[in-house]
Amino acid sequence: MDTRTKIIKRAVQEIQNGMNVNLGIGMPTLLANEIPKELHLLLQSENGLLGIGPYPVEGMEDPELINAGKETVTAVIGGSFFDSAESFAMIRGGHIDLAILGGMEVSEQGDLANWMIPGKLVKGMGGAMDLVHGAKRIVVIMEHTNKYNESKIKKSCSLPLTGQKVVNRLITDLAVFDFTPEGMILVETQEGVSLDEVIEKTEASFTISANLTCGKGIAKRLLLLGKEKHC
C-alpha cells in the first residue's frame, strides 16, 4: 500500500457506529469512501452538510453539493443542509463525536499546527480551530516525515498553532501515538515498520506502551521481551 492508503485504512478504524464525524480538508476526506457499509453514522462538513456520502461517480457530480475542501460529494438518505453559522454552533456545542484532521506538525504535548505555513498564501484558518476545541475526540493523520525526511512530530511545533494540547491520537504511515496527561505514548507500529525506525524518525520524546501492538493488532510486549523490534 502507498503511504496515504496505509494511513487511511488505519484511520477508518477510529470510526464507530452511531458517531457524528467531521472529516478535515485534504487526506481525511478520503475516509468517506472507506467506511464499512455496516456502520451507521453521519459525516459532517462545516460548510453546512450533515450526511456526506462517497465521492460521486464521473458524470454524476452536482456542483452545488461540496464538502469543506470544495470537492463534489454525495449526500446519504436523511442528510441535511444548513448554513455555516448553524454548522459551527453544532461544532462548538459539542455535538461532533470525532474529528479526523490533517496535520503539518504535532508536538509531544499534543499541540497541532495544520492551518498555515508562513509566507504561503492561505484563505484563512477554516474550521480547524473550532473543531479542535469543540469535537469530543481529535485524531490527526499525516505522514511521519516531510519531503526532506525531517520529522513532523516535534518536541515543539515551529509552525503557527491550531490548538494546544488538543490531539488525542496521531496516526502516521509508521505508527500510532496517544497523548495523555503523562505524555506521548507509542501504542502501535504499522505493519512492517520497526521500532528502531519509529524512534529514528521521531523528534519528539515518547514512551512505549508495554502493550505495543504491531500492524494488524498482534500484541507483542517488545520492551518486556527485549527481543524482536519489528512487526
Which of the residues are catalytic? Answer: 46
When computed from its CA atoms, the radius of gyration of the chain, rounded to whole angstroms, is 18
Cell numbers representing residue 229 in the block: 523490534
> Which residue bears the cell 480547524?
128
Per DSSP, what are the bridge partners of residue 32?
none
Dist. CA 94–CA 88, nearest whole Å: 10
Phi/psi for 24 (5° steps) reads -70, 170
Per DSSP, what are the bridge partners of residue 179?
184
Please say whether the beta carbons of 71 and 43 come within 8 A.
no
CA dihedral 120, 151, 156, 93 (to 10 degrees): 70
